[in-house]
A and B are shown apart, each in its own frame.
Chain A
Amino acid sequence: MTMMQRLSRVDAINWNRLQDDKDLEVWNRLTSNFWLPEKVPLSNDIQSWNTLTQQEKQLTIRVFTGLTLLDTIQSSVGAPVLMDDARTPHEEAVYTNIAFMESVHARSYSSIFSTLCNTRDVDDAFRWSEENPTLQMKSELILKRYRADDPLMRKVASVFLESFLFYSGFYLPMYWSSHAKLTNTADLIRLIIRDEAVHGYYVGYKFQQALAEATPERQQEVKDYAYELLLELYDNEVRYTESLYDEVGLTEDVKKFLHYNANKALMNLGFEPLFPSSVTDVDPTIMAALSPSADENHDFFSGSGSSYVIGKAVATEDDDWAF
C-alpha cells in the first residue's frame, strides 16, 4: 500500500503560500456557491404538491429521504475521513466546507418536508429508509470503504457517492420540473447538484494526484477495485431504482440517467467511461431540466454549418470579459 503523507501536525494555515493552487481555486468556487434553503421560496410549491397523487407524494418523500441519508453520510463520515488523509492544510479546509455544505443539503430536505408534507408521511418515510434493504446496502458499501485503511479507495467511494449514487434521487425533481411541477423544489435541488459536481471533481482530482505516485501494480489494483465497486453499487442501484420507480413506469429512463452519471463519476477519477452512448441517452426533457441550455443546438458539427459567418474582430480587454 502507498504511504500517504498525512499531515502530522497542525500549523497555522497560510492561504498566501499554496502547495497546490487547485485548493484555492476550489475553495473560491465553493464559497462563492454558498447558499441556504431559506433563499428558495419552497412554499410556492404547496399548490403544485397538492396536485400529486398519494403514490407520487410517497415516492417523492422516499426519494428525498434516501438523498438525506447520503448527505448525512458525507457530512458526518465521508468528509471527515478525507480530512484525515489531506496532504495540505488547504485541502483540509476545503473538506470542512464540503462537510458543512453536505449538512446544508441534508437540512434542505427537511425544509422541503416541513413546507410541503404532513408529519406522519415524513415519519413513515424515515422508517422506510431505515428498513429498505437496497438503501441500507448502498450506505454499507460506502461506509465499509470509508472505514477501511485505504486512502485511495476512500476517495473512490466518495466520488461514487457524490457523482453517481445521488442521481437515482435527483432524477425525480428534474422529472417533476420538466412537467412544470415542484419547480421551486427543483431550483433547490439544482443548487445541490451544482455543489456535488465540484465535490466530485475535487476529490477526483486529489485521487488522481495520489494515484499517480503509486507503483504501476498498485495503480492497476486500485483501478480494478474501483470498477468492481462501481459495478457492485450499480447492481444495487438498479434494484433501488426498480423498487422506487417501477410503479410510476420511469425505471428505464432513470437507469439511463444512472449510466450517464456513472460515466461522469469514472471520469472524475480519471478512468474511462463504462457505458456506451446507446444506454446513456437520457430523455431530453430531463436533460433540459438539469441544464436548460442543453437542448439548444450547440452541436454545430452535425448541422449544415451554413450559418457560419467569418468573424469580425471585436476589441476586447479584460474588463469586457465580465471578470
Chain B
Amino acid sequence: MQNADVQAARDGSLVYFSTKSGNTHRFIQKLGLNAQRLPLNREEPTLRVEQPYLLVTPTYGGGYAEGAVPKQVIRFLNDEHNRRLIRGVIAAGNTNFGEAYGLAGRIIAKKCQVPLLYRFELFGTDDDVAKVRKGVEEFWKRQAQSLAT
C-alpha cells in the first residue's frame, strides 16, 4: 500500500465521472493531471483501479440527498477494492442548489471516511484549477511522507 501511495504521488492519480454535458471532463482537462474517466454508459463494466486515487464527481439532482451521487459513481464505489483505494473527493456543483451544493462530495466523504477536498461550480474557474492542481500535488506528497515515517 505504501509503495502504491508513493506511486500515486508521482502520478497524481485521479478518477472522475462526467455526464454528456462534459463540465467535469473539461475541469479535468484543464488540470492536466493523470485521470481515468468512469464509463458513462451504465451497462458498461465499471473501472477497477490499481492504485490510490482522488475521486472527482458532479452532483446530481435538484437539492436532495437522494440521487445526488451519480449511479455510475455508486457502482464504482460499491466495488470493495475500489473503495479501499479512495483517498479523497472533489465535488462539482452549483451554489444555486443551496444546502445541496456539491452534496455528492459530502455523501461520499462520509460514506468512505475520506476528506472532501474541494468544491467547484460548473467547469471551474482558472482559480479553481490552480488551487486544485497545487492541492492535489501537495496532498500526495504529504500522503507519501506520512506513510514513510
Q: Tell me which residues across on chain B come within 8 A of A263, comparing CB atoms.
A: 125
Q: How many residues of A contact B (CB 8 A)?
A: 50
Contact yes or no, B131 A302, CB < 8 A = yes
A277 and B127 form a contact (CB under 8 A): yes
Contact of A318 with B by CB under 8 A? yes
Contacts of A318 in B (CB 8 A): 74-75, 78
Interface string of A274-290 (1 = CB under 8 A from B): 00010000000001001
The stretch of A55-63, A89-97, A131-139, A196-204 that contacts the partner chain: A196-204
A321 touches B131 (CB 8 A): no
Q: Are B98 and A194 in contact (CB under 8 A)?
A: yes
Q: Is B114 an interface residue (CB 8 A)?
A: yes
* Binary contact readout A306-323 vs B (1 if CB under 8 angstroms, 0 otherwise): 011101111111101111
Q: Which of B92-118 contact A (CB under 8 A)?
A: 94-99, 101-102, 105-107, 111-118
**Given A268-B122, A315-B80, A323-B66, A290 and B98 touching (CB < 8 A)?**
yes
Name the residue in A22, A287, A308, A309 with the highest tally of chain B Cβ atoms < 10 Å from its Cβ. Answer: A308
A313/B83 in contact, CB under 8 A? yes
Most chain A C-beta atoms within 10 Å of own C-beta, residue among B21, B65, B113, B118: B21
Stretch at the interface among B9-17, B43-51, B134-142: B134-142
Q: Is the CB of A322 within 8 A of B66?
A: yes
Within 8 A of B (CB), among A191-213: 193-194, 196-198, 201, 205, 208
A300 adjacent to B97 (CB under 8 Å): no
Q: Complex formed: what's the CA distance from A29 to B115 in Å?
A: 28
Residues of B within 8 A of A198 (CB): 62
Hey, which chain A residues are within 8 Å of B134, CB to CB? 301
Docked pose: A280 CA to B138 CA in angstroms: 27
A37 CB → nearest B CB, Å: 18
**Contact assessment for B96 and A290 in the assembled complex, using a CB-CB cutoff below 8 Å:** yes
A83 to B143, CA, bound (A): 52
Chain A, Cβ-Cβ closest to B80: A313
When chains A and B are docked, how far (Å) is the Cα of A314 from the Cα of B70?
19
- Residues from chain B with Cβ under 8 Å of A277 in the complex: 125, 127
Q: Are B101 and A322 in contact, CB atoms less than 8 angstroms apart?
A: no
A190 at interface, CB cutoff 8 A: yes
A interface residue numbers (CB < 8 A to B): 20-22, 25, 29-30, 32-33, 190, 193-194, 196-198, 201, 205, 208, 263-264, 267-268, 273, 277, 287, 290-294, 298-302, 305, 307-309, 311-318, 320-323
Chain B residues close to A by CB (< 8 Å): 19-21, 23, 60-69, 71, 74-75, 77-78, 80, 83-84, 86-88, 94-99, 101-102, 105-107, 111-119, 121-123, 125-127, 131-132, 134-136, 138-139, 142
